[in-house]
Structure 1
Amino acid sequence: MHGAIQGGWVWNYSRPDVGAPLGVKGLLEQAGHQVFNPTLPFHAPYDHWSWADGQMTVQKYVDVYIQVIVVNNLQNVVLVGHSLAGVWMQMLLQQIPNRIASMVFIDAAILLPGESFFSNRIGGVVSTLPAFPAQAWFSLLFSYPLFYQQFTIDLYRGWMVNSVASNDALVQATYKMMVPEPHGPELATLDTSKFFTISKPKAFIYEILDLSLSTEPRAWLLFADRLNQANNGGLPLQVIQVQADHQGMLTNPVDLAASILKAISALDPSR
């Protein structure tokens, strides 16, 4: 499941130069897994939501994933989600728990009951307003119409793909494929209480070069701490580190894929 301002394409973005010609998806499929990477509405490259398209909701997003799972009659699903997708994963587990075997969060947001992505207070704005919640900043910065005016390639280079900042071709190519985020789902206050009670094994992949929440990468581990409050199927929360920035699927797909495989195996050794 992809994060904000991007689409399912990030999982199969071709990086033959580092040994991932079919991206993270290709590496997972080589390991024997069936992989689905749908794109949410208005998240395809060069597409974007605007006020004329009407209100987007969390449920419209969750329904996309439910449809993929139901239409393909998928059982024992391992949900893998990045960044903002952590919230959609929480809601998905609450709605179809019997289809889901385990969950892998990649530097992903986890909301407590009554929070919205906008209102949760983990992280501070990089190098500018440390006391201002990063998610609130991103909700403003990433939303239409401010996105095209304020989210510059320099911000993208410094916050999102900082580990490959000197690879100008990659930075330029992937920046152009990002799209503004509809504001509605980010502002929605959600009841996630059931998520914390459903017994499913969970893992958190921590991208140790990720500066998107603050200049202190460990801010992302505060979300992992929230998973320690959840029913994790009787297992201790699996926290796996990977040498990657926030866009690890684009900047370090080989190691990120290896981390996902490690998480899946730790949660269920039979896979």
Structure 2
Amino acid sequence: MYYRFVPHWPYYSPYVEGEWLSWRSAVESDGVSRLPEQRLSFVLVHGSWADAHFWDGVAAVLRSQGHTVHAPEYAGHGTDPNKNVTHAMITKSVVDYIMRLNLRDIVLVGHSFGGTVIQKVAEQIPDRIKRLVFWDAFVLKDGGSLADELPPPTRQGFEQLRAGSKDDTILLPFPLFRDLFVNTATLEQAKHFYTSVRPEPAKPLFEKLDLKVFYTLPTPKSYVYFYQDNVLPQGEGFGWNPHMSSRLGVFRLIVGDGDHFTDTRTRPAMLARKLYEAGRD
């Protein structure tokens, strides 16, 4: 049975193309909002060069469909001026958020660098997590770092940008952001998206993580793979799927046609649907 969704107020988000995301964008293109088979509680963890507003459009869609959605901010991002943060501090931000709100039975989603965050969060509060969802996200080996997973030219570029900063951060140059993160966007869209990019604390990207506990957890896992995502090369020894995803053991695979960043702005309903498919029973 279908339910028509006709709201009467707008939703503001600085992260959505234009300035106003009408609640009507939270419905399907035929103007009908479909009641999901299952109501879920999502906790969405963003990646590098972003903050919690990254999820604004997707969260609006999921909420309009009856789901509960939380998008915690973590140390060194958003309005936090301190860029001297560690991976443990970032993880603690998310764990503390979940504990403070007493969230349970959650679908914990990590995007990009956020994959390494949800790996460590899962170690600390596994009893509160219904399923882990990695969307084009890093799944690190025990003892590895995100930097270990980058192709040599990218890692060398990051090291040079880090060395040239005054506060141990990395700011993506626009050409790199345009070709790797928003490769399906128009040039105008890419320039608009780039206005939200801020310097990223470098230290957590290079930290080696102890993930022995993570690899013992029986928590169900899903991987959402967008096949036009160009942040990692798709050749042998790199890439999101199957290179990263296969480390999860048994997992559910959901595939989409977007890139690393653009679709959160331009097609939030599509991304919301993929996260729902990844998170449902």
- TM-score scaled by length of structure 2: 0.75
Task: Give the whole-Å Cα distance in 1 for the aligned partners of 2:142 and 2:108.
Answer: 21
- TM-score scaled by length of structure 1: 0.78
* Residues 55-204 of structure 1 mapped to structure 2, 5 A cutoff: 55-118=84-147, 120-121=148-149, 124=151, 132=152, 134=154, 137-138=157-158, 141=161, 145=165, 151-166=172-187, 168=188, 170-204=189-223
Q: Does 1:263 align with 2:273?
A: no
Measured against aligned partners, the alpha-carbon deviations of 1:62-82 in whole angstroms (never above 9, x if no partner) come to 111112111111111110110
Task: Give the whole-Å Cα distance in 2 for the aligned partners of 1:256 and 1:43.
Answer: 23
2:25 is aligned to none
Structure 2 gap segments, 5+ residues each: 1-44
Indicate the percent of aligned positions where both proteins have the same amino acid: 29
The question of whether the paired residues in 2 share the 8 Å contact of 1:244 and 1:252 is answered with no
Task: Give the whole-Å Cα distance in 1 for the aligned partners of 2:156 and 2:215.
Answer: 24
Question: Computing the radius of gyration over CA atoms, which structure comes out larger, 1 or 2?
Answer: 2
Task: Sort the Cα spacing of 1:165 and 1:111 in 2 relative to 1 into closer, same or farther, 3 A.
Answer: same
Task: Sort the Cα spacing of 1:101 and 1:143 in 2 relative to 1 into closer, same or farther, 3 A.
Answer: farther
Task: Sort the Cα spacing of 1:133 and 1:75 in 2 relative to 1 into closer, same or farther, 3 A.
Answer: farther
If asked which structure has higher relative contact order (CA below 8 Å, sep 6+), I would say 1
* Residues 220-235 of structure 1 mapped to structure 2, 5 A cutoff: 220-221=240-241, 222-228=243-249
Task: Sort the Cα spacing of 1:152 and 1:133 in 2 relative to 1 into closer, same or farther, 3 A.
Answer: closer
Q: Does 1:2 align with 2:17?
A: no
The question of whether the paired residues in 2 share the 8 Å contact of 1:84 and 1:109 is answered with yes
Shift of 1:148: 9.0
Letter in 1 for 2:144: E
Q: Which among 75, 78, 85 is matched to residue 41 of structure 1?
A: 75
Shift of 1:237: 1.1
Shift of 1:154: 2.2
Q: Which among 55, 71, 90 is matched to residue 11 of structure 1?
A: 55
Shift of 1:54: 6.7
Measured against aligned partners, the alpha-carbon deviations of 1:185-227 in whole angstroms (never above 9, x if no partner) come to 1121111011111111100000111011126598111100111
Structure 1 gap segments, 5+ residues each: 13-22, 125-131, 229-235
Shift of 1:115: 0.7
Task: Give the whole-Å Cα distance in 2 for the aligned partners of 1:140 and 1:258.
Answer: 39
1:231 is aligned to none
Task: Give the whole-Å Cα distance in 2 for the aligned partners of 1:158 and 1:69.
Answer: 35
Structure with the largest fraction of helix: 1
Residue correspondences, number: 233
